[in-house]
Copies of this chain bind each other. A is one copy, B any other.
Amino acid sequence: MSTRRAVVLRRRPVGAPTPDIFAIEESAVPTPAEGQVLTRTIWLSIDPYMRGRLSEAKSYAAPVPIGGVMEGETIGEVVTSRAPGFAPGDIVVGPRGWASHLVSDTKFLTKLPRDGAPLSTYLGVLGMPGTTAYSGMTDIGRPKAGETVVISAASGAVGSVAGQLAKRAGARVVGVAGGAEKCLYVQETLGFDECIDHRALDLKAALNDVCPKGIDVYFENVGGELQRLVFSRLNVFGRVVMCGMVAEYNDTEPRPGPNLMMVVRNRLHIQGLIVSDKPERFAEWRALATPWVRDGSLKYREDIIEGLENAPEALVGILGGKNFGKLLVRVGADPTPRAG
């Protein structure tokens, strides 16, 4: 194949993005310079944080420029290498872009085993989302046996791991997810103690019902009304892992937040988390969790979209909670025996 396909950003969205803010561009497959590798993309990860890259608003990473290739993590196979230690056939994961072929320096690439866990898991349960959950629970949430832990977006790539880690710590874990099917999965497969369907129920009554002793740890992925309700139920010395607020990413004006006097009264600890701040956590988590993925004790679910051309639609969907599990785009054939 001598053509490279890439998804570029045509214009910035106002409010909810639509697929037509992106365009597919075809060009010649690029050639690596000295110190670089050329890979063909196998898997592309779609994550809620990508909404931030579409906006010009100041954030922790620069926005994707208009006309630029959309950013994202991929798993790829090395086609041509001009870098020491990388050879054709090597499988690599790294923060790269929405394209069928990518050329990059190797400093941000991590080589993956061909006979480890399924390759796709290195973008999900063993990758950035899993590491985010691990970092957040280790550094901020610190759930203890008997505590009540609430996880928003509980069936998602981050929430599903965060909740299973809290269960391993002996906590009582309450998920919040959208729809009966997701809630069933959260309780039956992931093993959370409870799951609240935020679409079907009176959230306030449901939280009171399943958190009679208040809430000790909140893993925040969504924001919105749930945030306000959970904050007012946090116990003394409660912790909040501020990981994301996907329900507000398409807002054009920021909504007000909860009154913070409860932070004083209850000596809450609220802390924001960006997984790349502690890059050492990635390898740590892969080492810890790979055996759990292989023995089946750490559950995960993937929602696979076929074809790079459908990545824009996938991103629009994840911002509305349409995905069910870790959202991935299959861009090219997976050459490993454990293909997802």
Interface size on A, residues (CB 8 A): 34
Pick the contact of A254: B242, B261, B273 (CB < 8 A).
B261
Assuming the contacts A254-B259, A259-B254, A259-B256, asked whether A244 and B264 have C-beta atoms less than 8 A apart, the reply is yes
Enumerate chain B residues within 8 angstroms of A261, measured Cβ to Cβ: 223, 245, 248, 254
Pair A263/B272 contact, Cβ less than 8 Å = yes
Pair A264/B255 contact, Cβ less than 8 Å = no
Complex interface residues of chain A between 216 and 249 (CB less than 8 A to chain B) = 220, 223, 227, 236, 242-245, 248
Q: Write the nearest CB–CB distance from A60 to chain B, whole angstroms.
A: 5
A262-273 near B? 1/0 per residue, CB < 8 Å: 011111111111
Enumerate chain B residues within 8 angstroms of A52, measured Cβ to Cβ: 265
Pair B274/A267 contact, Cβ less than 8 Å = yes
Enumerate chain B residues within 8 angstroms of A265, measured Cβ to Cβ: 52, 58-60, 272, 274
Q: Write the nearest CB–CB distance from A255 to chain B, whole angstroms.
A: 6
Pair B277/A272 contact, Cβ less than 8 Å = no
Q: In the complex, what residue of chain B is closest to A261 when comparing beta carbons?
A: B245
Q: Write the nearest CB–CB distance from A162 to chain B, whole angstroms.
A: 15
Pick the contact of A260: B60, B257, B277 (CB < 8 A).
B257
Pick the contact of A271: B223, B242, B248, B268 (CB < 8 A).
B268
Q: How many copies does the complex hold?
A: 2
Enumerate chain B residues within 8 angstroms of A220, measured Cβ to Cβ: 260
Enumerate chain B residues within 8 angstroms of A273, measured Cβ to Cβ: 264, 267
Pair B255/A257 contact, Cβ less than 8 Å = no
List, sorted by A's number, 30 A–B pairs whose CB atoms are closer than 8 Å: A58-B265, A220-B260, A223-B260, A227-B260, A242-B263, A242-B264, A242-B268, A244-B264, A245-B264, A248-B261, A255-B259, A256-B256, A256-B259, A263-B270, A263-B272, A264-B272, A264-B273, A264-B274, A265-B272, A265-B274, A266-B272, A267-B271, A267-B272, A267-B273, A267-B274, A268-B270, A269-B269, A269-B270, A269-B272, A270-B270
Q: A: which residues have CB within 8 A of B?
A: 52, 58-60, 220, 223, 227, 236, 242-245, 248, 254-261, 263-274, 277
